[in-house]
Amino acid sequence: MKKTHMKNIYNIQSVRNGIFILFCSMTLGACDRTSSPEGRMSLKIENLEKNMIDSLQKQNRAILDSIGQIRKELNEIKQLKK
């Protein structure tokens, strides 16, 4: 009878340990950058910065293309005057 009782106690402790480990795993797994207001704000700021950089790069390419076209037209005008 004592062996059965000891096995039951051991099984209950094993189940408790398993539940504790499962709970800890779930708690740690739920903690990411989106789980806090600060984390969500930092993600929004990173996305905003990325979008701004992309936009600035597109604008820069457009400006460089325009300057290239102006330079080409100026060179054509210089050639005509010669």
Lowest-pLDDT range of 37-41, 44-48, 76-80: 37-41
The alpha carbon of residue 15 and the mean position of all alpha carbons in its chain are separated, in whole angstroms, by 37
Q: Which H or E run contains 2?
A: helix 2-30
CA angle 43, 49, 51 (to 5 degrees): 105
- The residue with greater pLDDT, 7 or 15, is 15
Distance between first and last Cα of the chain: 115
**C-beta separation of 43 from 33 below 8 A:** yes
Count the Cβ atoms, other than its own, within 10 Å of residue 39: 13
How much is the pLDDT for 11? 72
Binning pLDDT at 50, 70 and 90, where does residue 16 land?
confident
Instruction: Name the residue ranges covered by the structural domains of the chain.
Output: 1-31, 34-82
